[in-house]
Each structure stands twice: as structure tokens, then as C-alpha cells.
Amino acid sequence: MELTPFNFMSYAAQKTIEAGVSKEMLVLVLMFPIVATIIAFVRQTIGLRTLGIYIPSILAVSFLATGIKVGLSFFILILILGTLIRFLLMKLKLLYLPRIALILTFVSLFTFGFIVFASYLGISTITSLAVFPMLIIIILVERFINVQIEKGFKEGLLLTFETLLISFLCYLVIASTAVQAFVLHFPGIVLIILIVFNLLIGRWTGLRLTEYFRFKEVIKPKS
């Protein structure tokens, strides 16, 4: 096969799989730019907010690794737990870093109990999960709790919801077998499309969709 800039990455991906690297690992790596681009598009043109671009990207990929039902349920459970522990620790008036370390400690203990309980019940869906996606979700909870501290509980909850919503939308895209197959077979073409698309988004100067609703009284044409 004659190598060109368009098929070089396809050839490299195929040879990597033949060398023993799992196809799932390559899919996760190649899907990450798609997730980042979706988030950039949603934030720049629609106006939904997220905790940066890194956190929802990592969440979406983690959901792909764990499965959306288990991943989302686990995330919500430990977020609720972390929030409750934060409120309890507020009475102790601890410094920030020890307080966060305690929150992560209790969340880790909960995760340990969660895995032990699942193994006792023979729930293979949970016991067969890779540990790193679960650890990533635990670590990300610390950032969501920080938002509650910085912006207040209500605003932090709203921002968490919007971040989860966009992460879920990204998951729906990257979980598609058709999308995964296309990305794995034509990674070079996908990369070029993403670069061009991000360059176009980077030149966006119009209002976001949500801003049309926020400022509708200001931009409404006068009769």
C-alpha cells in the first residue's frame, strides 16, 4: 500500500493493533480530540458552561471505559457523598488541603466498600471494571466540590449539571460503533477535519445561542 499523508495514520494504527496493542486503547486515544472539539463547539456556539474542557473530556472517556450506567451512577453517588462529607467537615474548620484529603479518603473508602459489596453479590459488571477510570472519577469529584466552595452550592450544582450533560452528549457520540470504526480506519482524515473545524470555531465572533435568550430585550428590533 502506498503511504500518503491521508492513510499513514490508518497504516500505523493497523500495525499497532497487529503488534498487540488493544483496539479499545487506540479508540480511547483517538476519540479524545473528538470529545474536546464537541465541548469547544457547544461552549462557543451554544453557550453551555463546563468546568473547563479537560474535566468533561475525561468524564466522557471514563464513561466509555466503565459504561454509562455504572460510570454515571458511581460518579453521582460519590459526588453526593463528597458533598455531604464537605458539609460535615465545615464544622471542624480545617485548612483546605487536609479537608480535601479527608474527603478523598472517605470517598476512596466508599469505593472500596462499593467494590467489595459488588463482588459479594457477584455483580461482574462492576468487579470487572478497570481501576483507572474509577480513580479518575474519584479525583474529578474534588474539582466539583471546589466549585461548590468557590461559587456556592446552587451555582456549583448548576455548573456540575451542565458539565455532566455535555459529558453525556460526548459519550453518546464516541460510544457509537460506527463513529469508532470510522475513526479507527480513517484517523488521518478525522484529524484534519477536527483541525479545520477548530480553526473555524476559533474565529467565531457571534453571540452564543443562550445569549440570544439572555439579551433578547436588548437585541430585539425596535418597532
pLDDT at 6: 57
Find the mean pLDDT for residues 164-174: 86
pLDDT at 29: 80
- pLDDT over 70 at 124, yes or no: no
- pLDDT over 80 at 215, yes or no: no
Within 13 Å of residue 165, how many CA atoms lie on the same side as its CB?
12
- pLDDT over 80 at 140, yes or no: no
- pLDDT over 70 at 148, yes or no: yes
Q: Which residue would you say has higher pLDDT here, 7 or 29?
A: 29
pLDDT at 130: 59
Q: Give the pLDDT confidence of 69-95 residue by residue, as tens digits.
A: 877 887 888 888 888 888 888 778 778
- pLDDT over 60 at 125, yes or no: no
Cβ(134)–Cβ(69) below 8 Å: no
Domain-wise residue ranges, the chain = 22-219
- pLDDT over 70 at 204, yes or no: yes
The full DSSP string for 5-56 is: TTTHHHHHHHHHHHTT--HHHHHHHHHHHHHHHHHHHIIIII----STTHHH
Rg of the chain (C-alpha set): 21
pLDDT at 221: 59
pTM score? 0.75
Contacts of 65 (CB under 8 A, 6+ apart): 28, 71, 129, 130, 132, 133
pLDDT at 141: 75
pLDDT at 120: 73
152 Cα distance to chain centroid: 22
Name the range with the highest mean pLDDT among 24-28, 60-64, 134-138, 208-212.
60-64
pLDDT at 9: 66
pLDDT at 4: 57
- pLDDT over 70 at 38, yes or no: yes
Find the mean pLDDT for residues 176-189: 82
Report the chain's mean pLDDT, rounded to a whole number: 76
